[in-house]
Chain A
Amino acid sequence: MRLPVAAGAATGAVAVALYPLFQTGTWFWASLGAILVVTAVGMLASRYTLPVWPVPLAQLAVFWLYLTAVFAGDTAWARVVPTKESAVELAELVATGFADIQKFAVPVPERPGITLLTCGGVGLIAILVDFCAARLRRSALAGLPLLSLFVVPASFIGDPLSWPTVVIAALGFLGLLAADGRERVTHWGRAVLVRRTPSFVAPRPAAETGTLRLSGKRVGFAAIVLAVLLPSMVPTLEPNPLFGFGVGNGNGRGGNTIGIPNAMVNLRGALSLPANSTVLTYTSSDSASRYLRLYSLDVFDGTEWTMSPPRGRPQDRTSEGPLPPAPGQGAGVPAAQATTRVTVSEEVRRLSFLPLPYPATQVRIEGDWRADVDTLMVFSTTDTAEGGTYEVVSNEPRPTAEALRTAGAAPQAISDKYLRLPEDLPDEIVRLASAVTDPDAGKYEQAIQLQEFFTSKGGFSYTLATQGHGGPALTDFLIRSRAGYCEQFAASMAVLARVLGIPARVSVGYTGGTNISGQWTVRTHDSHAWPELYFEGTGWLRFEPTPAGAAGQGSATVPIYTQPEVTTGGDDTPTANPSTGPTGAGVPSGSASNPRNPMLDRDFGGVPVAVEEGTPTAVKIGLGGVAVLLVVLIPALLRAGVLLRRRRVYSRQALRSGAAGEAGEATATALGSTGIAAVRSNRGQATVAAAWAELDDALCDYGVSRQPSESPRALARRLSEQHEFDAAAAASLARIAEAVERMLFARTLGETGSFREDVRRVRRALASTVSRGRRVRAVLLPPSMLLRIRAMGTRLLDGFDRLENIRFGRPARRNA
């Protein structure tokens, strides 16, 4: 009877793991019902010891009735008995269920089809588990169907299962194993004992099985605790969020790191490559070319633009469906949706960021790719894209000039992050920003004026023989030389935009490339950088300050919304000019960059950062160390607390009759002489007990053994002789021992005083007999406290024992 119940309980416990897959709890109750039905049949079968093979068939039949009643009751005969109609209805439900599964992402809403499938699956698992555990008596084997149920949520969510789920499921399985073990042990039969005398028939309790069970339980609990704790300590890409019930919250710590490339260095290297090799080719649903962005640089520190570490949350995997919504892009803005199919050349090495049009709404690619929620950069720490093909759906905003003109202020989060400029930004740049724009104009007009300043009015020229874009280089580019390439143009425009109060960032990637027989080809010389400016309602918009055409970045295009005077025209019409290559052939040799290196070779020149935002590993290790240290020191702290408390007690002076007078005559008269004696006796006992307990713990701490058959007096004698205590310490020890003796065995305790000095002396004498290591350990890891903690653990296990011994229904037959 016990096994079918345990099997049902195990299935139920594991089924709890399905919880994150669903939005509602209907499935659970339906599945619970299925488990109950199966278990009930199993119990009956066990009760009447039916043969093995018909039982699962009977369970299947009854389970079928249950499903009919719950899901197709209307068409069934008497709501329960299946008819042809009910079978058809169930089949249809199953079909819709499969269709729904294809349609919905987890967590799925409540759909009868899905509920039926879940309920049916759980019920079948319950039958299998019951069959393995209760019929075949192979409980360990029952772990397989349970495991198959358990991996369902794991495979769907791909997220670490929360620890309570694991614990519940593991406990369920353990319970099944324990029940099986018990059943087995009870069948062992009684041990044949050779009695010494026929009259002596002391019934031996089943002590052996008790210890077996206890140790088994300990192993089980220890395994669960390890299984839960260990993964949270081992760093992984998918940190198991400790204490986060439910689906991973994404704020996990730890994680693999990838190198964030120094985008700008790569950019110039790519542009100045003599060989213009193909990076990728793409086709798009509307045949238009698109800028493909790799990185988004959002931090300007006065020297250069850098990327703050992207955050790849588990739920932002590309395989999870749509990417996070593009920041700031409202539904009211017209947008052009297009699907682009990109094939990355095999020559590219280690491409861990995907070149994507902005804003991408969905990416279909093999592997674990994740989107950064702020920038929509898609990257991976494990996979690379070279040689692969992927599809991306983009939803480019096509705002009207009017909409941009009337755009409201950016949200605080955006302006905080994307308007930040270094304190020491040269004044000339600030002045320049206001000089080239109309201070009365709106943000949009100012942005256009900025772009015009770079492309036409400012007299800038395109050359690759420049480097840097920050600090003096920035000033030099903007004020003096006015010669540079896309890096300087993009960086400067973004800085000026920030000065003007327009949120801005720099994107690095590729221009749309060249159209070769209907397919767009992007080469290394199409590497590009451009600014993106933020307009509320539209989101991030690309601007193009770099001169295009033969005298500039060959394949660069100016977005249509930045040309307010042009009212007609196509999309970003590619110029399709043949790539001119770098104009500055003489690359300064002092540069840290080696232009001969292919594209992404100098990846990882940047600082490696954790994928997940969080504290650095060293700090984490340090914090972990401190935490472990604190945990380790808990026994020491407890021990110190106990010592202090006891010392307060055993340091009390005796309540002498004379002293009692001082304490208060009133009390004395009120209590009477016997009352005083009682009070004195209680106090004295507490004093002696505290001193003795302290001595006992001190012995334990210093590793001095104590036989259970050793009386206090014998102990005192042995210690004094064995460790050659000096006379004072020996006398102190004897005093304590005698007081304990009197407390335990004499009629009255007699007068006791403070034992403070005695305990101190004995402790010191004991300490001097042991090694220094032992002394340190006695303070830091006091064995007495560890033993007590262990005893507490044992009591806890005993509690579990009692829980387990709760019997359902009628009391089990003894010796059955």
Chain B
Amino acid sequence: MIFLFRYVDPIWLYPLMGIWILGYICFGRVQRRAIWHYHRQRLHQTRWQAFWGLIRNYNEFGKALLDRFACWGGRQMKITVDGQELWDKYLMTEQPFVILGSHVGNLELAGYTIQMPQKVYTLVYMGEAETVETNRKRLFDKMGLTIIPVQKDGGHILDMHRAIEEGHVVSIHGDRLFFYTRAMRTSLLGAQANFPEGCYRFAAMEEVPVLALYVMREGRGQYRVIVRQLSDGHPTARTHREQAHELLNAYTSTMEEVLQRYPNQWFNFYEFWS
């Protein structure tokens, strides 16, 4: 199927995606309820707006997945940048920093489309199908990205630390509780939600700049990379936990900013605010 994308524009597969969306809406009760609650309770939409929001949410997710497969097949997306100064200062120079991503937009696409001068280590949950993992690893290798798999014993934290010590970039998701044992709570879109404490404490401890990166779909084959700075990494007198909370609050502010503009590219298909 990946091979197919080398020759076929993803747009021709959108009708097939409609069937997939219908199936998901009919049978994915848990996911459907979570997205419905997101539109109704967090975006304060009417039932009618939430209904269309739900369909558009699945539609955007399907398109994001097809674009990802298209990249695996060798297609290039057109990228524009929001935050050019930060892009030039960090992403195009050789210095260590931490990228905080999320399941808002299509962050993985950044790995396939942005050629950075420094080595990038990305924390990845390796729980998907073998074919997906094999193709993903092949592409990551091609792009100079090194995967750090999430490990149950937490060994990935030391791998991430070593990568920063050696002057590389580490990319982590700031919105999923994997095997992290602790959570931090803060307000997102007007209600309290859990976030993984580990990644924010890690970013605070390393004393390097921390950036938020979003890759948002704008149209057919077009994406906007949004770069925001959360910290300059200068040492402070505050504890790492306090700094982690500041980073989290700064991060959720950027999430809210992005979601205001792209409300249907929220790809956390579970009850995020439970």
- Do A and B originate from a single complex? no
- Which residues of A are interface residues toward B (Cβ below 8 A)? none
